[in-house]
Structure 1
Amino acid sequence: MRCPTCGSARLQVVDTREAADATRRRRACQECGRRFTTYERRDAYTCPHCGRDEARIESWEVTPQRALRRHRRCAECGRGYQTLERLARMDIRVLKADGRSEAFNWGKLYRSIMIAGTKRPISSEWAEATAIQIENQLLSRDAFDVDSKQIASLVMERLVTLDEVAYVRYASSYFGEGGIPEMLETINESRVRRERTEIERTTLPLVPTDPEDS
Protein backbone atom coordinates (compact mmCIF):
# COMPACT_ATOMS: atom_id res chain seq x y z
CA MET A 1 0.00 0.00 0.00
CA ARG A 2 1.16 3.52 -0.79
CA CYS A 3 0.31 7.02 0.35
CA PRO A 4 -2.34 8.53 -1.99
CA THR A 5 -0.61 11.93 -1.74
CA CYS A 6 3.08 11.23 -2.38
CA GLY A 7 3.13 7.53 -3.30
CA SER A 8 5.48 6.51 -0.50
CA ALA A 9 5.23 3.01 0.99
CA ARG A 10 6.54 4.20 4.39
CA LEU A 11 3.26 4.02 6.27
CA GLN A 12 2.41 3.61 9.93
CA VAL A 13 -0.93 2.50 11.40
CA VAL A 14 -1.84 5.05 14.08
CA ASP A 15 -5.37 3.91 14.92
CA THR A 16 -7.53 0.83 14.36
CA ARG A 17 -11.26 0.60 14.97
CA GLU A 18 -13.55 -2.38 14.51
CA ALA A 19 -17.01 -1.85 13.05
CA ALA A 20 -19.80 -4.37 12.58
CA ASP A 21 -18.53 -5.63 9.24
CA ALA A 22 -15.19 -3.93 8.68
CA THR A 23 -11.92 -2.67 10.11
CA ARG A 24 -11.00 1.00 9.75
CA ARG A 25 -7.32 1.81 9.99
CA ARG A 26 -5.92 5.32 10.22
CA ARG A 27 -2.50 5.45 8.56
CA ALA A 28 0.21 8.13 8.59
CA CYS A 29 2.75 8.61 5.83
CA GLN A 30 6.26 8.92 7.25
CA GLU A 31 7.38 10.68 4.08
CA CYS A 32 4.95 13.60 3.69
CA GLY A 33 3.11 13.44 7.03
CA ARG A 34 -0.37 13.14 5.52
CA ARG A 35 -2.93 10.78 7.06
CA PHE A 36 -5.62 8.72 5.40
CA THR A 37 -8.08 5.97 6.24
CA THR A 38 -8.45 2.48 4.80
CA TYR A 39 -11.71 0.59 5.05
CA GLU A 40 -11.26 -3.18 5.08
CA ARG A 41 -14.35 -5.34 4.89
CA ARG A 42 -13.92 -8.22 7.30
CA ASP A 43 -15.78 -10.71 5.10
CA ALA A 44 -13.27 -9.96 2.31
CA TYR A 45 -10.66 -11.83 4.35
CA THR A 46 -12.76 -14.96 4.82
CA CYS A 47 -12.10 -17.81 2.42
CA PRO A 48 -15.09 -17.98 0.04
CA HIS A 49 -14.63 -21.75 -0.26
CA CYS A 50 -14.50 -22.96 3.35
CA GLY A 51 -15.15 -19.86 5.48
CA ARG A 52 -11.86 -19.86 7.39
CA ASP A 53 -10.05 -16.55 7.91
CA GLU A 54 -6.47 -17.85 8.06
CA ALA A 55 -4.54 -17.34 4.83
CA ARG A 56 -1.14 -16.33 3.55
CA ILE A 57 -0.57 -13.52 1.07
CA GLU A 58 1.13 -14.85 -2.06
CA SER A 59 1.27 -11.60 -4.04
CA TRP A 60 -0.31 -8.19 -4.32
CA GLU A 61 -0.81 -5.50 -6.93
CA VAL A 62 -2.06 -1.93 -7.15
CA THR A 63 -4.99 -1.58 -9.55
CA PRO A 64 -5.32 1.35 -11.98
CA GLN A 65 -7.98 2.70 -9.60
CA ARG A 66 -5.39 2.89 -6.76
CA ALA A 67 -6.82 -0.01 -4.81
CA LEU A 68 -4.73 -2.85 -3.40
CA ARG A 69 -5.56 -6.34 -4.64
CA ARG A 70 -4.08 -9.23 -2.61
CA HIS A 71 -3.84 -12.84 -3.79
CA ARG A 72 -4.33 -15.14 -0.78
CA ARG A 73 -4.03 -18.88 -0.16
CA CYS A 74 -6.33 -20.40 2.46
CA ALA A 75 -4.46 -22.25 5.22
CA GLU A 76 -7.38 -24.65 5.72
CA CYS A 77 -8.48 -25.83 2.25
CA GLY A 78 -5.49 -24.60 0.23
CA ARG A 79 -7.57 -22.80 -2.38
CA GLY A 80 -6.72 -19.32 -3.60
CA TYR A 81 -8.84 -16.17 -3.62
CA GLN A 82 -8.44 -12.41 -3.91
CA THR A 83 -9.26 -9.51 -1.62
CA LEU A 84 -9.50 -5.82 -2.41
CA GLU A 85 -8.38 -3.07 -0.06
CA ARG A 86 -9.23 0.48 -1.00
CA LEU A 87 -9.01 3.99 0.39
CA ALA A 88 -12.09 5.37 2.06
CA ARG A 89 -12.96 8.93 2.96
CA MET A 90 -15.81 8.98 5.43
CA ASP A 91 -16.35 12.74 5.03
CA ILE A 92 -18.05 12.49 1.62
CA ARG A 93 -21.72 13.28 2.22
CA VAL A 94 -24.41 12.34 -0.28
CA LEU A 95 -27.34 14.77 -0.38
CA LYS A 96 -30.66 13.00 -1.00
CA ALA A 97 -33.69 14.42 -2.83
CA ASP A 98 -35.71 14.61 0.40
CA GLY A 99 -33.09 16.80 2.10
CA ARG A 100 -31.39 14.04 4.09
CA SER A 101 -27.68 13.31 3.82
CA GLU A 102 -25.69 10.14 4.39
CA ALA A 103 -22.08 9.01 4.20
CA PHE A 104 -20.93 7.86 0.78
CA ASN A 105 -21.23 4.08 0.55
CA TRP A 106 -19.03 2.44 -2.09
CA GLY A 107 -20.76 -0.91 -1.68
CA LYS A 108 -24.18 0.65 -2.27
CA LEU A 109 -22.96 2.26 -5.49
CA TYR A 110 -21.45 -1.03 -6.67
CA ARG A 111 -24.67 -2.94 -5.95
CA SER A 112 -26.81 -0.38 -7.80
CA ILE A 113 -24.65 -0.83 -10.91
CA MET A 114 -24.88 -4.62 -10.66
CA ILE A 115 -28.68 -4.46 -10.29
CA ALA A 116 -28.98 -2.29 -13.40
CA GLY A 117 -26.74 -4.75 -15.24
CA THR A 118 -28.64 -7.90 -14.25
CA LYS A 119 -28.58 -10.38 -17.19
CA ARG A 120 -26.71 -7.78 -19.24
CA PRO A 121 -23.03 -7.71 -20.32
CA ILE A 122 -22.01 -5.88 -17.14
CA SER A 123 -19.28 -7.79 -15.30
CA SER A 124 -18.57 -7.47 -11.60
CA GLU A 125 -15.04 -6.33 -12.50
CA TRP A 126 -16.42 -3.48 -14.61
CA ALA A 127 -18.87 -2.46 -11.88
CA GLU A 128 -16.09 -2.57 -9.28
CA ALA A 129 -13.73 -0.47 -11.41
CA THR A 130 -16.49 2.03 -12.20
CA ALA A 131 -17.44 2.45 -8.53
CA ILE A 132 -13.78 3.01 -7.57
CA GLN A 133 -13.27 5.51 -10.42
CA ILE A 134 -16.31 7.49 -9.32
CA GLU A 135 -15.20 7.42 -5.68
CA ASN A 136 -11.76 8.72 -6.65
CA GLN A 137 -13.40 11.41 -8.79
CA LEU A 138 -15.46 12.53 -5.79
CA LEU A 139 -12.37 12.54 -3.56
CA SER A 140 -10.57 14.86 -5.98
CA ARG A 141 -13.24 17.53 -5.54
CA ASP A 142 -12.78 20.52 -3.26
CA ALA A 143 -16.22 20.00 -1.68
CA PHE A 144 -17.26 16.69 -0.14
CA ASP A 145 -21.03 17.29 -0.30
CA VAL A 146 -22.40 15.77 -3.50
CA ASP A 147 -25.95 15.45 -4.80
CA SER A 148 -27.11 11.87 -5.32
CA LYS A 149 -28.20 12.71 -8.87
CA GLN A 150 -24.67 13.89 -9.67
CA ILE A 151 -23.39 10.44 -8.71
CA ALA A 152 -26.11 8.86 -10.85
CA SER A 153 -25.03 11.02 -13.79
CA LEU A 154 -21.42 9.82 -13.41
CA VAL A 155 -22.62 6.22 -13.60
CA MET A 156 -24.84 6.95 -16.60
CA GLU A 157 -21.96 8.57 -18.48
CA ARG A 158 -20.18 5.22 -18.33
CA LEU A 159 -23.22 3.00 -18.93
CA VAL A 160 -24.50 4.87 -21.99
CA THR A 161 -21.73 3.58 -24.24
CA LEU A 162 -21.74 0.07 -22.78
CA ASP A 163 -25.34 -1.14 -22.70
CA GLU A 164 -28.60 0.69 -23.44
CA VAL A 165 -30.80 -1.57 -21.31
CA ALA A 166 -28.59 -1.15 -18.23
CA TYR A 167 -28.46 2.61 -18.87
CA VAL A 168 -32.27 2.89 -19.05
CA ARG A 169 -32.70 0.77 -15.91
CA TYR A 170 -30.27 2.91 -13.96
CA ALA A 171 -31.62 6.20 -15.30
CA SER A 172 -35.24 5.29 -14.62
CA SER A 173 -34.47 4.39 -11.01
CA TYR A 174 -33.22 7.95 -10.40
CA PHE A 175 -35.07 10.07 -12.95
CA GLY A 176 -38.00 7.94 -14.08
CA GLU A 177 -40.78 9.19 -11.81
CA GLY A 178 -42.98 10.37 -14.70
CA GLY A 179 -44.20 6.99 -15.92
CA ILE A 180 -44.12 5.86 -19.56
CA PRO A 181 -43.48 9.34 -21.09
CA GLU A 182 -40.48 9.79 -18.83
CA MET A 183 -39.21 6.32 -19.71
CA LEU A 184 -39.50 7.00 -23.46
CA GLU A 185 -37.64 10.26 -23.00
CA THR A 186 -34.89 8.40 -21.14
CA ILE A 187 -34.59 5.84 -23.96
CA ASN A 188 -34.38 8.58 -26.59
CA GLU A 189 -31.77 10.39 -24.54
CA SER A 190 -29.77 7.17 -24.30
CA ARG A 191 -29.74 6.73 -28.06
CA VAL A 192 -28.79 10.34 -28.71
CA ARG A 193 -25.91 10.13 -26.23
CA ARG A 194 -24.71 6.83 -27.68
CA GLU A 195 -24.74 8.25 -31.21
CA ARG A 196 -22.93 11.39 -30.10
CA THR A 197 -20.29 9.36 -28.28
CA GLU A 198 -19.74 7.09 -31.29
CA ILE A 199 -19.36 10.11 -33.57
CA GLU A 200 -16.81 11.69 -31.22
CA ARG A 201 -14.93 8.38 -31.01
CA THR A 202 -14.76 7.72 -34.75
CA THR A 203 -14.38 11.25 -36.11
CA LEU A 204 -10.76 12.23 -36.72
CA PRO A 205 -9.76 15.86 -36.14
CA LEU A 206 -9.06 17.87 -39.26
CA VAL A 207 -5.34 18.38 -39.82
CA PRO A 208 -4.53 21.73 -41.47
CA THR A 209 -2.57 21.41 -44.69
CA ASP A 210 0.94 22.79 -44.64
CA PRO A 211 1.11 25.61 -47.23
CA GLU A 212 4.53 24.33 -48.33
CA ASP A 213 2.95 21.00 -49.32
CA SER A 214 0.46 22.69 -51.67
Structure 2
Amino acid sequence: MRCPFCDHPDTQVIETRESDEGDSIRRRRRCLNCEKRFTTYERIELALPAVVKRNGTRTEFDRRKLRGSMSLALRKRPVSAEAVDAAIHRIEEKLLSLGLREVGSEQIGELVMRELKKLDKIAYVRFASVYRKFEDVDEFAEAVLEVRARRKRGE
Protein backbone atom coordinates (compact mmCIF):
# COMPACT_ATOMS: atom_id res chain seq x y z
CA MET A 1 0.00 0.00 0.00
CA ARG A 2 1.45 3.37 -1.03
CA CYS A 3 1.59 6.19 1.47
CA PRO A 4 -0.93 8.93 0.57
CA PHE A 5 1.44 11.58 1.96
CA CYS A 6 4.82 10.78 0.43
CA ASP A 7 3.92 8.04 -2.10
CA HIS A 8 6.43 5.63 -0.55
CA PRO A 9 5.57 2.04 -1.55
CA ASP A 10 6.11 0.44 1.89
CA THR A 11 3.71 0.81 4.80
CA GLN A 12 3.25 -1.22 7.92
CA VAL A 13 -0.09 -2.40 9.34
CA ILE A 14 -0.16 -1.48 13.02
CA GLU A 15 -3.77 -2.40 13.85
CA THR A 16 -6.55 -4.38 12.16
CA ARG A 17 -10.22 -4.40 13.17
CA GLU A 18 -13.30 -5.96 11.65
CA SER A 19 -16.40 -3.74 11.39
CA ASP A 20 -19.39 -4.49 13.62
CA GLU A 21 -21.33 -5.78 10.61
CA GLY A 22 -18.42 -7.98 9.55
CA ASP A 23 -18.45 -6.62 6.01
CA SER A 24 -15.23 -4.63 6.09
CA ILE A 25 -11.82 -4.52 7.74
CA ARG A 26 -10.25 -1.31 9.02
CA ARG A 27 -6.46 -1.14 9.02
CA ARG A 28 -4.30 1.52 10.67
CA ARG A 29 -1.05 1.87 8.74
CA ARG A 30 2.24 3.67 9.24
CA CYS A 31 4.52 4.80 6.44
CA LEU A 32 8.02 3.42 6.81
CA ASN A 33 9.43 6.51 5.13
CA CYS A 34 7.65 9.58 6.56
CA GLU A 35 6.20 7.89 9.70
CA LYS A 36 2.72 9.34 9.08
CA ARG A 37 -0.32 7.21 9.91
CA PHE A 38 -3.46 6.64 7.88
CA THR A 39 -6.46 4.33 7.73
CA THR A 40 -7.52 1.98 4.95
CA TYR A 41 -10.70 -0.06 4.58
CA GLU A 42 -11.01 -3.42 2.92
CA ARG A 43 -14.46 -4.38 1.56
CA ILE A 44 -15.88 -7.13 -0.56
CA GLU A 45 -16.39 -5.81 -4.05
CA LEU A 46 -19.54 -7.04 -5.74
CA ALA A 47 -20.69 -6.25 -9.24
CA LEU A 48 -23.29 -3.53 -8.87
CA PRO A 49 -25.55 -2.88 -11.86
CA ALA A 50 -24.65 -0.28 -14.46
CA VAL A 51 -26.60 2.98 -14.20
CA VAL A 52 -28.77 4.05 -17.12
CA LYS A 53 -29.09 7.82 -17.04
CA ARG A 54 -32.16 9.76 -18.15
CA ASN A 55 -30.54 10.54 -21.51
CA GLY A 56 -29.96 6.81 -22.15
CA THR A 57 -26.21 6.74 -21.55
CA ARG A 58 -24.76 4.06 -19.29
CA THR A 59 -22.13 4.40 -16.62
CA GLU A 60 -20.69 2.34 -13.79
CA PHE A 61 -22.25 2.68 -10.37
CA ASP A 62 -20.10 5.09 -8.35
CA ARG A 63 -20.35 4.96 -4.56
CA ARG A 64 -18.47 8.28 -4.27
CA LYS A 65 -21.02 10.00 -6.50
CA LEU A 66 -23.84 8.62 -4.36
CA ARG A 67 -22.08 9.82 -1.19
CA GLY A 68 -21.52 13.24 -2.76
CA SER A 69 -25.20 13.65 -3.62
CA MET A 70 -26.30 12.60 -0.17
CA SER A 71 -23.67 14.76 1.53
CA LEU A 72 -24.81 17.79 -0.41
CA ALA A 73 -28.40 17.26 0.73
CA LEU A 74 -27.20 16.64 4.30
CA ARG A 75 -24.89 19.66 4.39
CA LYS A 76 -24.98 21.36 7.81
CA ARG A 77 -27.47 18.78 9.11
CA PRO A 78 -26.92 16.78 12.33
CA VAL A 79 -26.41 13.36 10.69
CA SER A 80 -23.33 11.26 11.47
CA ALA A 81 -21.00 9.86 8.84
CA GLU A 82 -21.79 6.39 10.18
CA ALA A 83 -25.50 6.91 9.50
CA VAL A 84 -24.73 8.03 5.93
CA ASP A 85 -22.46 4.99 5.43
CA ALA A 86 -25.22 2.70 6.66
CA ALA A 87 -27.74 4.32 4.29
CA ILE A 88 -25.36 3.93 1.34
CA HIS A 89 -24.80 0.32 2.32
CA ARG A 90 -28.57 -0.32 2.35
CA ILE A 91 -28.92 1.26 -1.10
CA GLU A 92 -26.12 -0.92 -2.46
CA GLU A 93 -27.66 -4.03 -0.87
CA LYS A 94 -31.01 -3.21 -2.47
CA LEU A 95 -29.38 -2.75 -5.88
CA LEU A 96 -27.54 -6.07 -5.52
CA SER A 97 -30.70 -7.87 -4.40
CA LEU A 98 -32.50 -6.75 -7.57
CA GLY A 99 -30.15 -8.98 -9.55
CA LEU A 100 -30.21 -6.66 -12.55
CA ARG A 101 -27.32 -5.82 -14.87
CA GLU A 102 -28.64 -2.29 -15.36
CA VAL A 103 -30.77 0.02 -13.25
CA GLY A 104 -32.24 3.42 -14.08
CA SER A 105 -30.91 6.49 -12.32
CA GLU A 106 -34.55 7.23 -11.38
CA GLN A 107 -34.69 4.05 -9.32
CA ILE A 108 -31.46 4.98 -7.52
CA GLY A 109 -32.86 8.46 -6.87
CA GLU A 110 -35.97 6.94 -5.30
CA LEU A 111 -33.81 4.71 -3.05
CA VAL A 112 -31.78 7.76 -2.00
CA MET A 113 -34.92 9.73 -1.19
CA ARG A 114 -36.25 6.83 0.89
CA GLU A 115 -33.02 6.72 2.91
CA LEU A 116 -32.81 10.51 3.29
CA LYS A 117 -36.40 10.59 4.53
CA LYS A 118 -35.32 8.23 7.35
CA LEU A 119 -32.15 10.21 8.12
CA ASP A 120 -33.29 13.83 7.93
CA LYS A 121 -36.49 15.40 6.62
CA ILE A 122 -34.78 18.63 5.54
CA ALA A 123 -32.19 16.70 3.52
CA TYR A 124 -35.01 14.71 1.94
CA VAL A 125 -36.80 17.88 0.78
CA ARG A 126 -33.51 19.37 -0.48
CA PHE A 127 -32.71 16.26 -2.51
CA ALA A 128 -36.28 15.90 -3.79
CA SER A 129 -36.36 19.51 -4.97
CA VAL A 130 -33.34 18.92 -7.20
CA TYR A 131 -34.08 15.31 -8.17
CA ARG A 132 -37.70 15.95 -9.10
CA LYS A 133 -36.79 19.30 -10.69
CA PHE A 134 -39.36 21.40 -8.87
CA GLU A 135 -40.56 24.16 -11.17
CA ASP A 136 -42.41 26.31 -8.65
CA VAL A 137 -43.06 26.86 -4.95
CA ASP A 138 -46.22 24.72 -5.01
CA GLU A 139 -44.22 21.57 -5.81
CA PHE A 140 -41.84 22.40 -2.99
CA ALA A 141 -44.75 22.96 -0.61
CA GLU A 142 -46.25 19.58 -1.58
CA ALA A 143 -43.01 17.83 -0.59
CA VAL A 144 -43.01 19.62 2.76
CA LEU A 145 -46.66 18.71 3.35
CA GLU A 146 -45.87 15.08 2.52
CA VAL A 147 -43.13 15.02 5.18
CA ARG A 148 -45.43 16.69 7.72
CA ALA A 149 -48.24 14.24 7.04
CA ARG A 150 -45.93 11.25 7.52
CA ARG A 151 -44.58 12.72 10.77
CA LYS A 152 -48.13 13.12 12.11
CA ARG A 153 -48.91 9.49 11.24
CA GLY A 154 -45.74 8.45 13.08
CA GLU A 155 -43.82 7.11 10.08
Range class of TM-score, shorter chain: 0.7 to 0.9
SS class of match (1:82): strand
Q: 1:155 aligns with which of 82, 105, 112?
A: 112
Structure 1 vs Structure 2 CA RMSD: 2.5
Q: Distance in 2 between matches of 1:52 and 1:79?
A: 11
Q: Distance in 1 between matches of 2:91 and 2:111?
A: 7
- The TM-score, its normalising length taken from structure 1, stands at 0.61
SS class of match (2:119): coil
Q: Which residue of 2 aligns with 1:22?
A: none
Q: Distance in 1 between matches of 2:48 and 2:19?
A: 24
Q: Which residue of 2 aligns with 1:56?
A: 12
Q: 2:40 aligns with which of 80, 83, 89?
A: 83
1:164 aligns with 2:109: no
Q: Which has the higher helix share?
A: 2
Q: Which runs of 5+ in 2 are unaligned?
A: none
Q: Which residue of 2 aligns with 1:38?
A: none
1:69 aligns with 2:26: yes
Q: Which has the higher strand share?
A: 1
User: Deviations for 1:135-168, whole angstroms, at most 9, x for unmatched residues?
Assistant: 1221122223222122122222222133222111
- The TM-score, its normalising length taken from structure 2, stands at 0.80
Q: Which runs of 5+ in 1 are unaligned?
A: 1-41, 201-214
Q: Over alpha carbons, which structure has the higher Rg?
A: 1
SS class of match (2:108): helix
1:131 aligns with 2:77: no
Deviation at 1:65, TM superposition (A): 7.0
Which has the higher relative contact order, 1 or 2, with Cα contacts under 8 A spaced 6 or more apart?
2
User: Deviations for 1:45-82, whole angstroms, at most 9, x for unmatched residues?
Assistant: 644xx444532222131452723322223334444332
Aligned residue pairs, count = 153
